[in-house]
Each structure stands twice: as structure tokens, then as C-alpha cells.
Structure 1
Amino acid sequence: MASAPNILIVSQKGPLAYQALIFAASLRAHAPGFQGALVVAEPVPEFAWTGVDTRLPDKVRGALTELGATIVPFEARHFGQSYPNGNKIEALRILPADQPFVFFDTDTLITGPLDTVKFDFKRPAASMNRSGTWPQPPLYGPGYGDIWRSLYDRFGLEFESSLDLTQPDEHWERYLYFNAGWFFGADPAVFADRFLNWAIAVRDDPGEALACQTLDPWLDQVLLPLVIHSLKGGRPPRSLNGLDGDISCHYRSLSLLYARESDAVLDALESAVAAPAVRRVLRDWEPARQTIYQNRGRKKIRPLFETDMPPREQGIRQRLKAAGWWLV
């Protein structure tokens, strides 16, 4: 990397607290050469989070600090409990301006040397580990092209160069669309201002082309391609293949991790959280206690999928729930 970026994750009381601990432990275990800062953004229980205790448990806070993380509070004034995914948009503002950053969803496991990833911070990008979740064009239109073009036109962006012309017209992959599980850029201040202002604008006034579209929980993923395109970024190059590959795993839940990820990912998880200081805290979280420390992830969940893996995540979730192993 040209310079070590600041890493940003968001955490608060509840599952995100323990997922943050897993992230920090895995970063230190599997990317010991990484020299950047790990910033854990914690929403204060005010403004858009009024009435919700968002504060990290003391034991988690202490364990994160011991792992080298810096916990920084931030004010969520626009989304909060009405749209928790908006935390990632508002939290970007706590990072130092003009310093490169990488955002990760907290339910991510670092499995390899992150310091070897060749980020080009002048050309932002985001995760392509996505499916065609948005938009869902109505039967009589508008179609994919008209919906996406309306957003580019709204914010004064050139549309044609965002297209993947190897994909057919009106196929969802033709249009720039990311999973917001990771993304990066050169200046979090510029990125955050654009992301926040445009997200608020679309939330408050979707416009005619989006009248039939659902923006919850997709709003952040709708605006992320526009922000990245406006900053001269786009689809990630091959140099980033380790993300969502050998370097990181966006597992979403420990149940899903044990159901579908490789043995190498399981080994990376279990070795990262084996240290007594991490184990003492993480055992307070029921999903971790059962799947990792009581070994039920390997003994109970893994066998459910050894011979037949559903092609879609929904099918995996349904089987886990039916067997009583959907743990959150």
C-alpha cells in the first residue's frame, strides 16, 4: 500500500460489540504487518439514537483497546434507529481528513495479510460480493437503465462510463452496484459529505423513477456507486481480489460462517479468538459460545450442509432456522 489507511468499523451494544472484537482480534492475528489505525465508531445514545443504549459493554471496550483499537464516539443525527445502516455514512466523518481509509462492515473476519492489498486510494471501489437486490423494476417500467440513469442525472453525473458493456442491456450486473461491506477512498471528509447529502436527498425525495422501489435496507448501497463514480472510482481491479477472498470474509453471522465458509476460514476464526483475553469476553455472546467455544459450529451446523449447499443465502438461512441453529 502507498500508505497505511485508517480502518473504520462501527460498533455498539449488542451483536455488533462482539463482532467488533472478532474483527479486531482477526486483524491482529492474521495481518500483523498492518500499520494503520483501527477506529471503532460508537454512536452516542442521543439524536437519532435517543432512547437506545448504544454504549459498548465495558468488557468489550477494554478488550478492543487492548487489541489496539481506538474507540471514537460519533453523533448520528440523520439515520440512527430508523435506518441503522446509515451509521456507516455518518461515522465516516470522525476519520481524519485527507488520510486514506477503508471501511469494513463489522461482521467481517480478516483472514490474511491486509497490508499486502494494493489499494489505489485515488480510485475508490467497493465489494462486488453482491446479488441483484436493488432495484426491482416493476412490470411496466421503468427498467434498470431508467432507474439508475435518473439517479446519475439527479446528481449531475455522467452515466455511460459506469456501465459494464459486457453485460446485456437491462441485466442488473450491467449497472454499477456494490455490497457496502467494504469500500475505500482517499479522503473520508469528501466521501462522507457526498454520501450523507445524497443519501438524505434520496431518502426524503426518491423521485418518480424510484416511486416503486424499497430503500430500506438498500439506501446505502444505492448511493455508494454514485459516490464512488463521482470520485473517479469504479469496479475493483484484480489487485483487490484478496478482499472477499483470501484476505477477508464478510460472514454476516456465525451460523452462516460455519454453514458455508471454507475450513481455512473456520481455522482463521478459531485461532484469532483463542487468546484467553478475547475468549473471556466473547463467551458472553451466545452465538460465539455455542458455535466456537462449545464446538457446535463444526459438530452441529457443518454437517447440515456437507452434501447439499443451497445455492442462495435465503435457503441456507431457512435450513439453519428449521434446525434451530440460526443464532444472532
Structure 2
Amino acid sequence: MRWPSPEGRASIAQPFAGSQIVLSASSRTAGAIDSLAWNGREFLNRFDHGRELQSAASFDGYGECLNPTEAGSDADGMGPESTSRLISLRVQDKRLHTRTRMAWWVEPGETSRECPKGPGGYASPLSDAVLTKDVEIGVHGVANAIAYRATFSVPHAFASANFEVLTGYMPPDFSRFWSYDPRSGRRAPLSDGPGEQPVPVILATEDGAYAMGVYSPDLPQAAHPDAGFGRFRFPAPRGPEGNATVKWNCVYRHGAGGPGPYAFTCYTLVGTLEAVEAGLSRLHAALSGARTPGSR
């Protein structure tokens, strides 16, 4: 695979509020996004191959034991290479396009605490599921909005599926969790959960100088009216002492399905807390035809 830079990185950028939003994918993570920066601040925690800004799926209630993951496997740890395999990469203007054959998160025959049914029954650490993603900065007239269009090519039939279309792992000082309803313009404190709720989530620093939010116009799903946007705090995860992290996600659920493509779009926004709120409202208005809260 030929990368735009000799360091094995591909980046796109967009001016916003006196700085640049710079989004970058790497060979280390098989094309998954492992850096998102604005105004001198990194928004992502890329400690291992399970964090980053990436996609994953799980099937049939097996949790992490049937869990193809874009950036790689748990066994990849902090290493420089990924079990996932990048198939193609294209960068054009403010768009990044990749196709990646995803690794199983848990090694064949092994389990984790998040494997309620035991081993997943696969023999290779590399799954046959392929993620195609198209990422664009500055969409629908909202300069700080990033569109993330993901298509999961699933090779097998399944009884149920959870598509974590997009998740963002962040440094722990993004410690304030908020819900924000772009229809009403109302922000409210959100508990640690962990878990999902039906309106967009924002994670922000204590002073609101930096924030990151998530939105998808088709959430919540009718069959899951109380879910879709998750938030989680991990104050003492595995690894070196002090390696805490927080995360948000954008999740779609599917009942029984056959082999084929499953496509979804989620948006993430960065900036100050105020700018993320304003961007969420404008994005919602653009995609739904509704008026921005406070407009006449």
C-alpha cells in the first residue's frame, strides 16, 4: 500500500475558527483514524488498536468474541502493526476513502470478559468482514462537522448484529458528559452511564474550550427508541497506570440478516462546547429541513 507520506500517514484538513481541523489515518491502524486535532489539541486516545476513531461490529450476542474491528486486534496492543489489512486508500481534497479487511478483536479460541457465549468459532485472526469508509470534513455547510459514511460488507448470515458505526476514544480530561437535543437546543448533564441514550452526546473539557460530539439523523431507531448514542468512562483500564480514557459511540442494531453490505452515516463535530452545539443544531436543520433553535 502506497501512503502519501513516508511515515505511513494520510491526512485531510479544514479551516475552522482560526485554526485547522486535521484528521489523519495511519498504516499502524490499517487506515483507521488515529489523530484528530484542532487548535493545538489532540482529541483522540490512540494507546492501542481498540481505541482511535473507528468502526467495529459484533454478531449473535458473542460480544468481543465475534467482533471484527477496523484498527486491529487486542493482541496488536501498543505495537506498530495491525492484524487488520488495508485493501485500498484514497485521499482527495477534504475526503479520505479506505477499504479494510477487519481483524477479530479476540484471538481464535480465546475469550475476554466481554464474551458471554465463549469463543466465536473462527480459526484465523483476520475476519472476512470488510469496512469501506468515506470521511469528509466540512459538510452540509457546517465547517466543523465530519461525515463518516461506513459500509460493512458482511460475508455471513447472522441472527443479530450491533454495528458500532463510529466510536471515539478520547483523553480523560474530556470529563464532562452532555446530552444535546438539536431539535430544541437544550443541553443537559449526562451521567457516566455506561450506556446509550436517544439524543446526541458531547464530551467536553471542564472549561468547555474543547469538545467533541456525535450525531446521526436516523437515530434513534424505531425498534430501539432509547438507544443509539453511548458514553463511557474507563478510569483505570488495562495497561500502564494512569492510562484512563473516555469514549462515545454511534450504534445501529439489526435483526436477522444475510450476507451483504450494511451502510450507515454518523457525524462527529469538534471545537469548543458552544461551537459543537451550534454545529449539531445546524447539521440537524440541514438534514431534516428543521429550523435551527433560536432562528426565526
When normalised by structure 1's length, the TM-score is: 0.27
Structure with the higher fraction of residues in helix conformation: 1
Structure with the higher fraction of residues in strand conformation: 2
Q: Compare CA radii of gyration and give the structure with the larger one.
A: 1
When normalised by structure 2's length, the TM-score is: 0.29
